[in-house]
Amino acid sequence: MKNRILFLLAFLLGSIGLNLNAQNKLFTPEDAAGVNPALFAAGMSQLQWLADQDVYTFAEGNFILAGKPGKNEADTVVDLSVLNQMLRSLSIDSLKRMPSIRWIDAESGYFLNQKKLFRLNLPSKDLTLITSFPQDAENIEIKLPSLKAAYTIKNNLYLSERENHTRITDEIDGIICGQSVHRNEFGISGGIFWSPDGEKVAFYRMDETMVTQYPLVDVSKRVAELKNERYPMAGMTSHEVTIGVYDLKSQSVVFLKTGLPADQYLTAVSWHPESKAIYTAILGRDQKQMKLNQYDAATGEFVKMLFEEKEEKYVEPLNPMFFVPESENSFIWISQRDGFKHLYHYQADGKLIRQLTTGEWVVTAFLGFDAKGKKAFFMATKESPLEQNAYSVDLKTGRIIRITPQKGVHRTNVSHSGLFALDTYSNSIVPRETHLLSTNGKSMKILRQAENPLKDYKLGETTVFTIEASDGTPLYCRLIKPVDFDPEKKYPVVVYVYGGPHAQMITESWMYGANYYLNYLAQKGYLVFTLDNRGSDKRGRAFEQIIHRNLGKIEAEDQMQGISYLKSLPFVDAERIGVDGWSYGGFMSIHLKLNYPETFKVAVAGGPVTDWKYYEVMYGERYMDSPESNPDGYIQTSLINQAHKLEGKLLIIHGDMDPVVVWQHSLSFLKKCVDEGKLLDYFVYPGYEHNVRGRDRAHLIKKISSYFDENL
């Protein structure tokens, strides 16, 4: 098997790198759990552009400072002590720290504190209380510059115009307005959409009354209480979603006539810049066809279909339309239709102008346009699947310019003019740096250079390389060696796996994407290996969709290619290999343990899917189709059906309030093991959902690491 070493960390004594043999500190379980803020590289708080100005602002202690390209010094624009004086003049308690201020224009900003919305005028140093939201208000969406707001209370939508609050919907239990729908699939993160002119607000209405209520039990009460979750499992009845449009002038709601079937998916909600038309992408339940439709915002009437996309396996729109400024007649659409996610420039009537980007790489985010609408800005993996860099593309010529000069994974914010960018990045040897860039690809100023937070810690050497899948596809791997590594010794291995869609474990970011938990295991004497198999993210359609209808098979084949590589290394103890994963990774961990018991001595699985028929409709049917159309696939991928193959040590961990991978998954597997006379270890975190966060995560890490210590 061909082994192509791409990156090797082996730095001299005292360097900033990851092989810090001169240092002696080791991670505690608390450190590995990520609860020690001192171990995270310092960034810049509230870094943003001052509205449409080429001026950037950031918080520093009790101040917000403003800087300009070409100017070395930053000026104070907000002083917390002065802000507190203004708050006290309104009979409101002082703040202990600077609130999160967002800019309305060059002279004013707004912030929320304790459900109160304030407007701050910079020149006059005047603070105005705009409105007070009810304490149970959620999903607050503020429209600039008017500071009108739409929000939800429980399952209904409300509107505020200063102190005037209006209830927009009056729905029964089981019908939800103004919130995210389709279980946050298809890129959906909210359910309120203001029109550009601020005179209308669109919102999702989700009818879940027909969906089975799944019983979650809260055991923290003296008498345990039911906390039902409406959970549509694959093949079962799903919820029905429509889109309403509330007109502030007429105080009336119309619903888009999106038609039948009622259980179709609505996403990519977008407004035309003139606020007269609204758009949504519609997918059938089988997710193999997407139509981008236009509707009249005043009447809800269907206007036209702009275009459609069809795929044999599935279509997955994740982004809205991005209308070009200074040209209300064209927009950008992100599509994977040629095999990789790229930018397409369309006329507003749906006629394709041109495909703006091409190649065997993917666009990962859209950043916006310059003020004149001549260029579009985006993030992409153009240099490497492990990197994310910022680029501009000329809408007429298609010329692409790389903006971020440093290798790594970047987060970039382009100014309104399109001339400058604020960029924060890390790579394998840079914990975090923030630069002011010109969009021609030059760094103008380093705004913040974080110290290495691990400079006093003893870490093992990390390498990133590729091996080949059975079909020759390169697969990225990461290997962390134990501290004080001796190539003459043999070491046990922990394989850390995820393996599913929309995830990438190995990146050209700080520590190559490895978290402190993995390095904690290396400090305890384990080789820690990770492989991004086919089916994972940022490698294109064919790479991702090869797992369709038979989850686990291809992923496991690729993981075993990694095992073959490990066994070829003289310092690997091939009799002591374990595997650990959570969620999809928990599914993979059990799958590998059941199907390759001679290889994996120990397995740990957290929150595991054990049968895809118990998983939610949108995700499950996208990757597996329905149980009715793919019965053999569901039977073959069910870990419950394979429980009889269990040999050796397996620990399953689950939160009993998990609303994502419901507790039934692991309990059903446990019951089958009992039926088959198979022994395993099982641990429940009461009150926790799909993972164990916060203080108790250190307990989880102790539990997992001690299991490997005792059994591997």
10-residue mean pLDDT series, the chain (712 residues): 36 37 83 94 97 97 96 95 96 96 97 97 96 98 98 98 96 97 97 98 99 96 95 98 98 98 98 98 98 99 98 98 91 98 98 98 98 98 99 98 98 98 97 98 94 96 98 98 97 99 98 98 99 98 98 99 98 99 99 98 99 98 98 98 98 98 98 98 98 95 98 98
Whether the bond into 385 is cis, omega within 30 of 0: no
What beta strand segments (E) does 439-559 contain?
Answer: 442-449, 462-468, 474-480, 491-496, 527-531
Distance CA(526)–CA(21), nearest Å, equals 17
Q: What is the pLDDT of residue 255?
A: 99
Q: Which domain holds residue 268?
A: 148-208+234-318
* Residue 580 shares a structural domain with residue 671: yes
Encoded tokens for 340: 């990789």
Q: What angle do CA 681, 687, 693 make, to 5 degrees?
A: 85
Domain-located, residue 385: yes
Domain-located, residue 600: yes
Tokens 């000026």: give the residue. 75
Q: What is the pLDDT of residue 216?
A: 97
* Residue 198 shares a structural domain with residue 303: yes
Distance CA(603)–CA(672), nearest Å, equals 18
Which of 295, 318, 341 is at the close of a domain? Answer: 318
* Residue 256 shares a structural domain with residue 363: no
> What is the three-class DSSP state of 542?
helix
Q: What is the pLDDT of residue 326?
A: 83
Encoded tokens for 173: 């239990």
* Residue 622 shares a structural domain with residue 679: yes
Which of 300, 318, 336 is at the close of a domain? Answer: 318
Eight-class DSSP state of 598: T
* Residue 582 shares a structural domain with residue 667: yes
Domain-located, residue 89: no
CA end-to-end span of the chain: 27
Distance CA(650)–CA(657), nearest Å, equals 22
* Residue 587 shares a structural domain with residue 665: yes
Domain-located, residue 687: yes
Active site annotation includes 583:
yes
Closest CA to 121 of 136, 139, 104, 135: 104
Catalytic residue among 180, 690, 696, 699: 690
Which of 416, 450, 484 is at the close of a domain? Answer: 450
Domain-located, residue 253: yes
Going by their DSSP bridges, the two strands 602-606 and 572-582 should be labelled as: parallel
Q: What angle do CA 695, 98, 37 make, to 5 degrees?
A: 30
Distance CA(140)–CA(122), nearest Å, equals 24
Going by their DSSP bridges, the two strands 400-402 and 409-414 should be labelled as: unpaired
Domain-located, residue 99: no
Distance CA(233)–CA(613), nearest Å, equals 7
* Residue 505 shares a structural domain with residue 650: yes
> What is the three-class DSSP state of 392?
strand
As separate numbers, helices (DSSP H) first and strands (DSSP E) second, the chain gives 10, 46
* Residue 248 shares a structural domain with residue 396: no
Domain-located, residue 423: yes
Catalytic residue among 108, 426, 428, 583: 583
Q: What is the pLDDT of residue 16?
A: 36
Catalytic residue among 160, 548, 658, 705: 658
* Residue 309 shares a structural domain with residue 376: no
Distance CA(279)–CA(306), nearest Å, equals 9
* Residue 505 shares a structural domain with residue 440: no
Q: What angle do CA 605, 470, 499 make, to 5 degrees?
A: 25
Q: What is the pLDDT of residue 677?
A: 98
Domain count across the chain: 3
Whether the bond into 482 is cis, omega within 30 of 0: no
Distance CA(418)–CA(49), nearest Å, equals 11
* Residue 541 shares a structural domain with residue 657: yes
* Residue 190 shares a structural domain with residue 306: yes
Farthest-apart Cα atoms in the chain, separation: 79
Domain-located, residue 621: yes
